[in-house]
């Protein structure tokens, strides 16, 4: 997973001259006075760092985890400043979150790691801050990043307290058996209530209040104390340079000139230029061109040693060659790959079409460029009779989809039609013929056209997620009703304190992919937070619903849906179509059907007149123009039976509703 | 496409809009100007000059009708009307029976003024009254200057002076108008009217006050089905009162059809004189042999400058291709109850008959089977 953006930001900032008189100190490896452009500089034979001066005992690998907007990026800024990794200026305000979507949603999309150098009680420490993307869509990436750490800083807002994502993040770290340093941020705010947050932490996470560090990342209060805690509490990595090379890939980016830059954590051995390495996943062989540390831009070093974190460039041409979670080892010394590797698994699918077919090639090249850096998006060519040529894209989750779409629009100026998202269903086949045809018993269904009939299936399965909701208690009633409406099953309910409640529900994924988050935010006046994690598949009473126009099925509107939701959804689609299809010379029956059974119907009455306006001298030219436009429009309409359906009608029904 | 043979349409019609109004109506986006004073002598001179120039260009022998349209031509003085008619008569033959129509606003015609117009024109004139409504509240909504009582008075006065030759316009589908209110209004109009009525569904035109209110949500938009019901009700009431529904928006009894307007729907030639006027004719005077769509300059001052310097203020001329001419012929002819005659079609398309084009299997034949279209051999 990689949605790049940050490296470039750092780059831009580092190139700009520092304000005169701004206090800053240099990292140990950086000669005084050379404040400019170190990436270019580093590429040309500056003396490389000798990383052997940082043995395992003086290394700490850690992440910062936090709910949206609780101050993770600001704290990272301060840590980088204190250790002299970046200059201290007034501009370091959540500089990492530069994408518009990051700022709008207050999330970190692209993680950026950095090595910090810090002298504590006379010892030089190498502190590797391994950043993580801040959203559950990327929970796999988060878990891989965490597996390179021995501890985490858990940041909680002193005003908002523990939120859904705090809980999810805590459990990720807890299950990975990492040391957790709770930090209560924003104590400078007027409504800050650190005691209450300490009590929540004690109650929910069983961490004593004394362990919490109260800070203001914005003002720099107590931030040094956090660094000291990192050194004192988090153990050094347990590994040995004498072992054979074993490196975890926890992130990767793509550089047009140098190819893939893989971020790695060494679990054993050492690595340097000229080494021949192999990917445990692809089995491909590479020769190392360059290794180095991230500061956070790449800083070449002679070698990297066990316990250290940095990057490797080894002639990989595509990001798919450096998949997150993969293990790298020496060609001649194979090792047991690190556990937990999974290929990126899309959980949400949506069709993407150019608004205008003449834009197809431009959109294609934009997609190619964007996916260069994001191997987790799957792209399959698709075409719809109504929307033309396009693609079916698979995303890790909803946010991932939104980020991708927004970047396409903002960075490539591409306007696209994105269809309502669907989830991958499964069917366990019972028909011997079908099993033979597919070569397996369990198949994944993405396209409704592939939906196998009930008679040849022993059961259908749908993906589920375990959702965590944290809310002020006054909204509980409404939220429980919302969850029940979404077929969710309550798993847990806990009062965190007298005001806040944490709810856990098992949701069918398809019930939350469209508008659940917006509905939750709206009925809780924005106070409830939500997070979810993958919870596998469950059996489900799935059916395929067809939409018929005067008895003829409309292929692109067929959907796979849960039986309980068929009536409401069918009715909704029929109503939307009724508004979207223009009246014609005859009556049109718009029906939703399951098999032969009609479950919803709307009737679009025949058009009764359209030329009642006056038509004399000056009106004639206008009328002829109008008729010509109508004739052009008719050419673009899709005929289903004798019904003419404008492309716009499909768009209105298929398109994701973002205006709710 | 009922076959009905009529005389060969070689003569020409003349359209002359008067582009000034006293007040802007809330629904109107016509090319019109509300100015404190109009230099009528100058406008008159230009209308006369342009009429002469264009008639010379068209090289027609005879003018069969003249229409003075809106803005508000009844604001012009009878002298101006007389001057234009004299110019037309001087440049071509204007038969005694020619239809000369003046669109008159109920608020701008006193019986004396109407009499003046009759003096100015030829005896057999028609007067057309865009009443729009006989309900004071509706008239206010439309931004009309007159009251329902004034409208009644105007119709009565016009009928006395132009018996059997007075027409009224009514608008339906006003925001908030009910089916009953419309039927009542139409019944009242039937009690008042002469032998010709035009009914127009209100079109919300961009840039008008009324459209802004409806699209802004302060006024309700009438539902499509209600509009269709209103139209059907009106048709039934008028037919019951002896009117012939001879065009989509026009009804006449006792043969009082507007021959001028029929010329549009029959795709005959007409010249447009005055700011923003539209014309369709073959400019034989300069050696042309193709029918052209012509538009005169919209803005009156610019139009006058052009007329003075080059004799006419034609701003745009587009040669209509044979296909475009046929498209117009069809789109307009199908608005009438007589349809497109074989003869008229043959005039525009000597090679390919109606039967050859529409008698073959295809969309047109589907429409015939569904009863939307009739192709006969008459």
Can you give the pTM of this predicted structure?
Answer: 0.65
Question: Helices A360-372 and A398-412 meet at what angle, rounded to 10?
Answer: 120
Cα nearest neighbour of B295 on chain A: A618
CB contact at 8 A, A149 and A121: no
Closest CA to A196 of A162, A155, A153: A162
pLDDT band of residue B4 (cuts 50, 70, 90) is very low
Residue B152: count of CB within 10 angstroms of its CB: 18
| Non-local CB neighbours of B366 within 8 Å, separated by 6+ positions | none
Mean pLDDT, range B269-273, rounded to an integer: 91
Q: Pairing state of beta strands B12-17 and B63-69? A: parallel
Task: Give the pLDDT band (50/70/90) at residue A109.
Answer: low
Contact A621 B198 (CB under 8 A): no
Count of C-beta atoms within a 10 Å radius of residue A635: 6
Residues B247 and B240: their CA atoms lie apart, in Å, by 17
Tokens of A416: 């696209």
For range B158-173, the mean pLDDT = 89
Strands A114-120 and A489-495: unpaired
Distance from CA of A628 to the nearest CA of B (A): 10
Structural domains in chain B plus CATH codes: 12-265 (3.20.20.70), 341-378 (no CATH)
What is the per-residue DSSP string for A342-398?
A: ------EEEEEEESSGGGHHHHHHHHHHHHHT-TT-EEEEEEETTTEEEEEEEESSH
Q: Which domains does chain A have, with CATH numbers?
A: 56-233 (3.40.50.300), 246-330 (2.40.30.10), 348-418 (3.30.70.870), 425-540 (3.30.70.240), 543-654 (3.30.70.2570)
What tokens were used for B327? 């498209």
Mean pLDDT in residue range A607-628: 81
Which range has the top average pLDDT, A313-327, A459-473, B109-123?
A: A459-473
Rounded Cα distance between A352 and A298, Å, is 35
Kindly list the residues from chain A whose CB atom is less than 8 angstroms away from the CB atom of residue B15. Answer: 617
Is A627 in the B-facing interface, judged by CB distances under 8 Å? yes
Q: In A, which residues are within 8 Å of B230 by CB distance? A: none
Model confidence at A69, pLDDT cuts 50, 70, 90, reads confident
Average pLDDT across chain B, whole number: 86
pLDDT band at B124 (very low <50, low <70, confident <90, very high): low
How far apart CA B3 and CA A403 sit, in angstroms, is: 65
3-state secondary structure of A270: strand
C-alpha span between B279 and A243 (Å, rounded): 95
Higher pLDDT, B4 or B289: B289
Compute the distance between CA of residue B350 and CA of residue B345 in angstroms, rounded to an integer: 8
Q: Does A345 touch chain B (CB under 8 A)?
A: no
* Confidence at residue A134, expressed as pLDDT on a 0 to 100 scale: 60
pLDDT category of residue A383 using cuts at 50, 70 and 90: confident
Quick one: closest CA in A to B235, which residue? A612
The reported pLDDT for the residue numbered A276 is 96
Q: Which residue in B71, B182, B264 has the most chain A C-beta atoms within 10 A of its own C-beta, making it the best mutation to test that interface?
A: B264
Answer whether A526 touches B (CB < 8 Å): no
Q: Choose the closest CB to B264 out of A605, A620, A624.
A: A620
**Which among B200, B231, B278 is the nearest to A618, CB-wise?**
B278
For residue A624, give the nearest of B69, B224, B327 by CB distance.
Answer: B327
ipTM: 0.83
Residue numbers in the known binding site of A for GTP are: 66-73, 131-135, 185-188
Alpha-carbon gap, residue A110 to A5, rounded angstroms? 7
Q: Does the distance separating the beta carbons of A612 and B231 come in below 8 Å?
A: yes
Spatial contact of A180 and A151, defined as CB atoms under 8 Å apart: yes
Kind and range of the H or E element at A80? helix A72-82
Q: Confidence class of residue A562 from pLDDT cuts 50, 70 and 90?
A: very high
| CA A535 vs CA A325, A485, A561, B173: distances in Å | 20, 19, 19, 58
Q: Give residue A105's pLDDT.
A: 56
Look at residues B234, B254, B248 and name the one whose alpha carbon lies nearest to residue B183: B234
- The verdict on A608 touching B (C-beta cutoff 8 Å) is yes
Split at pLDDT 50, 70, 90, the class of A458 is: very high
Q: What stretch of H or E contains A61?
A: strand A59-66
CA dist B16 and B74 (Å) reads 12
Give the position of tokens 């899309």. A346
**Inter-axis angle of helices A164-175 and A139-147, nearest 10:** 40
Q: Say whether A608 and B264 touch across the interface (CB within 8 A).
A: no
What pLDDT was estimated at residue A16? 29
Work out the minimum CA distance from A624 to partner chain B, whole angstroms: 7
Binding site per annotation, positions of A: 66-73, 131-135, 185-188
Contact B332 A614 (CB under 8 A): no
Q: What mean pLDDT is reported for chain A? A: 83
Instruction: Give the nearest chain A residue to B271 (CA atoms).
Output: A617
| DSSP bridge partners of A286 | A277
Smallest Cβ distance to A609: which of B15, B231, B276? B231
Looking up tokens 């058996």 gives A177
Least confident window among A46-55, B187-196, B309-318, B368-377: A46-55
- High-pLDDT (> 90) share of chain B, %: 39
Helix or strand run (H / E) with residue A648: helix A647-654
For residues A337 and A502, the answer to whether their CB atoms sit within 8 Å is no
Q: Which residue in A9, A191, A175 sits closest to A108, CA to CA? A: A9
Closest in A586, A613, A620 to B201, CB measured: A613
Task: Write out the E strands in A517-642.
Answer: 529-540, 542-549, 552-553, 559-562, 588-594, 597-604, 638-640
What is the DSSP track for A197-257?
HHHHHHHHH---GGG-EE-BTTTTBTHHHHHHHHHHHSPPP---TTSPPEEEEEEEEEETT
Residues A413 and A408: their CA atoms lie apart, in Å, by: 7
Which residues from chain B sit within 8 angstroms of residue A611, using beta carbons?
A: 248, 335
Confidence check: pLDDT of A102 > 50: yes
- Whole-number Å distance between alpha carbons of A659 and A409: 17
CA distance linking residue B170 with residue B185, whole number of Å: 9
Bridge pairing between strands A529-540 and A542-549:
unpaired
Q: What is the mean pLDDT of residues A579-583?
A: 88
Residue B201 sits at φ, ψ, to 5 deg, of -75, 135
Helices vs strands, H then E, count in chain A: 17, 33
Nearest Cα residue to A252 out of A270, A265, A264: A264
Residue B65 has pLDDT above 60, yes or no: yes
- Give the mean model confidence (pLDDT) for residues B335-352: 92
Mean pLDDT confidence for B303-307: 94
Check residues A3 and A459 and name the one with the higher pLDDT: A459
Exposed/middle/buried for residue B336 (C-beta within 10 Å: 0-12, 13-18, 19+) = buried
Residue B94: left (phi > 0), alpha (psi -120 to 50), or beta? beta
pLDDT band at A47 (very low <50, low <70, confident <90, very high): low
CB contacts of B225 in chain A (<8 Å) are 605, 608
Average pLDDT over every residue of A128-150: 79
| Pick from A520-534, A570-584, B60-74, B163-177: least confident | B60-74
Choice among A267-281, A515-529, B234-248, B298-312 with the minimum mean pLDDT: A515-529
- Name the nearest CA neighbour of B165 among B77, B65, B252: B252
End-to-end CA, chain B: 9
The minimum CA-CA distance between B36 and chain A, rounded to whole Å, is 26
């Amino acid at each position: 997973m990689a949605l790049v953006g940050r490296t470039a930001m750092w780059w831009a900032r580092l190139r700009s001259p520092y304000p005169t008189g701004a206090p800053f100190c240099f990292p140990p490896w950086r000669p005084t006075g050379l404040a400019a452009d170190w990436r270019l500089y580093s590429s040309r034979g500056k003396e490389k760092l000798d990383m052997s001066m940082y043995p395992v005992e003086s290394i700490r690998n850690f992440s910062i985890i936090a709910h949206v907007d609780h101050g993770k990026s600001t704290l990272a800024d301060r840590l980088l400043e204190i250790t002299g990794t970046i200059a201290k200026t007034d501009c370091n305000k959540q500089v990492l979150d530069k994408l518009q979507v990051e700022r709008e949603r207050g999330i970190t999309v692209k993680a950026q790691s950095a090595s910090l150098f810090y002298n504590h009680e006379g010892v030089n420490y190498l502190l590797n801050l391994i950043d993580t993307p801040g959203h559950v869509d990327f929970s796999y990436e988060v878990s891989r990043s965490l597996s390179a750490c021995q501890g985490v800083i858990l940041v909680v807002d002193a005003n908002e307290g523990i939120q859904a994502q705090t809980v999810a993040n805590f459990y990720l770290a807890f299950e990975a058996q990492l040391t957790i340093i709770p930090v209560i941020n924003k104590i400078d705010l007027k409504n800050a209530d650190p005691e209450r947050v300490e009590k929540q932490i004690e109650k929910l996470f069983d961490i004593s209040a004394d362990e919490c560090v109260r800070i203001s990342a914005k003002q720099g209060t107590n931030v040094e104390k956090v660094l000291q805690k990192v050194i004192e509490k988090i153990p050094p990595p347990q590994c040995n340079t004498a072992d054979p090379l074993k490196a975890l890939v926890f992130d990767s980016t793509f550089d047009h000139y140098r190819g893939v830059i893989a971020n790695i954590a060494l679990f054993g051995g050492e690595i340097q230029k000229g080494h021949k390495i192999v990917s445990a996943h692809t089995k491909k062989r590479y020769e190392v061109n360059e290794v180095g540390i991230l500061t956070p831009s790449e800083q070449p070093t002679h070698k990297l040693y066990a316990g250290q974190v940095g990057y490797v460039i080894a002639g990989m041409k595509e990001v798919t060659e450096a998949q997150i979670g993969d293990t790298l080892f020496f060609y001649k010394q194979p090792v047991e790959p690190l556990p937990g590797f999974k290929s990126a698994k899309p959980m949400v699918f949506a069709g993407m079409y150019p608004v205008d077919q003449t834009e197809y090639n431009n959109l294609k090249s934009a997609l190619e460029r964007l996916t260069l850096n994001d191997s987790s998006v799957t792209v399959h060519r698709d075409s719809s009779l109504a929307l033309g040529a396009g693609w079916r894209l698979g995303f890790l989750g909803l946010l991932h989809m939104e980020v991708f779409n927004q970047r396409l629009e903002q960075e490539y100026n591409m306007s696209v039609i994105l269809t309502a998202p669907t989830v991958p269903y499964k069917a366990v086949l019972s028909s011997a013929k079908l099993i033979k045809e597919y070569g397996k018993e369990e198949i994944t269904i993405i396209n409704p056209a592939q939906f196998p009939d009930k008679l040849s299936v022993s059961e259908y399965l749908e993906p589920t997620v375990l959702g965590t909701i944290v809310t002020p208690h006054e909204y509980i009633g409404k939220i429980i009703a919302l969850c029940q409406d979404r077929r969710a099953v309550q798993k847990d309910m806990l009062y965190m304190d007298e005001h806040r409640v944490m709810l856990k529900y098992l949701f069918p994924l398809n019930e939350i992919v469209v508008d659940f988050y917006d509905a939750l935010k709206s009925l809780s006046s924005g106070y409830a937070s939500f997070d979810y994690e993958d919870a596998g598949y469950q059996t489900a009473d799935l059916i395929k619903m067809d939409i018929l126009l005067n008895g003829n099925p409309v292929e692109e509107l067929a959907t796979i849906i849960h039986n309980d939701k068929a009536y409401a959804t069918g009715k909704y689609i029929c109503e939307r179509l009724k508004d979207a299809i223009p009246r014609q010379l005859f009556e049109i029956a718009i029906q939703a059907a399951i098999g032969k059974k009609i479950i919803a119907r709307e009737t679009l009455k025949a058009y009764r007149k359209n030329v009642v306006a006056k038509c004399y001298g000056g009106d004639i030219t206008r009328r002829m123009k109008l008729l010509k436009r109508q004739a052009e429009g008719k050419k673009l309409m899709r005929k289903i039976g004798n019904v003419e359906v404008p492309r716009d009608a499909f768009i209105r029904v298929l398109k994701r509703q973002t205006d709710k | 496409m009922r076959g009905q043979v009529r005389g060969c349409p070689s003569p020409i019609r003349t359209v002359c809009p008067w582009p000034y109004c006293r007040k802007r109506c809330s629904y109107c986006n016509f090319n019109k100007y509300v100015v404190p004073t109009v230099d009528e002598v100058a406008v008159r001179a230009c209308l006369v000059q342009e009429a002469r120039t264009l008639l010379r260009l068209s090289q027609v022998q005879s003018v069969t009708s003249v229409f003075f349209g809106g803005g508000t031509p009844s604001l012009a003085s009878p002298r101006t009307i007389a001057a234009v008619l004299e110019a037309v008569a001087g440049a071509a033959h204007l038969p005694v029976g020619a239809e000369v129509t003046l669109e008159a606003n109920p608020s701008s015609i006193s019986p004396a003024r109407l009499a003046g117009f009759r003096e100015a024109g030829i005896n057999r004139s028609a007067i057309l009254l865009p009443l729009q409504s006989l309900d004071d509240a509706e008239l206010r909504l439309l931004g009309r200057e007159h009251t329902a009582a004034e409208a009644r008075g105007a119709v009565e006065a016009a009928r006395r002076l132009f018996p059997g030759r007075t027409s009224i316009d009514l608008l339906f589908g006003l925001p908030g108008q009910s089916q009953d209110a419309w039927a009542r209004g139409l019944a009242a109009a039937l009690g008042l009217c002469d032998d010709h009525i035009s009914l127009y569904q209100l079109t919300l035109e961009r840039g008008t006050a009324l459209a802004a209110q409806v699209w802004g949500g302060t006024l309700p938009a009438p539902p499509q089905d209600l509009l269709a019901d209103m139209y059907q009700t009106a048709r039934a009431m008028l037919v019951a009162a002896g009117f012939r529904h001879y065009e989509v928006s026009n009804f006449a009894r006792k043969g009082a059809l507007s021959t001028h307007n029929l010329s549009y729907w029959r795709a005959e030639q007409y010249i447009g004189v005055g700011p923003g006027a539209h014309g369709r004719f073959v400019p034989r005077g300069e050696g042309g042999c193709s029918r052209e769509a012509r538009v005169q300059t919209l803005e009156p001052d610019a139009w006058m400058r052009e007329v003075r310097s080059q004799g006419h203020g034609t701003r745009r001329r587009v040669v209509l291709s044979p296909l475009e001419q046929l498209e117009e012929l069809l789109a307009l002819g199908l608005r009438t109850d007589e349809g497109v005659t074989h003869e008229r079609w043959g005039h525009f398309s000597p090679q390919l008959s109606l039967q050859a084009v529409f008698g073959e299997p295809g969309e047109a034949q589907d429409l015939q089977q569904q009863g939307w279209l009739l192709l006969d051999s008459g």
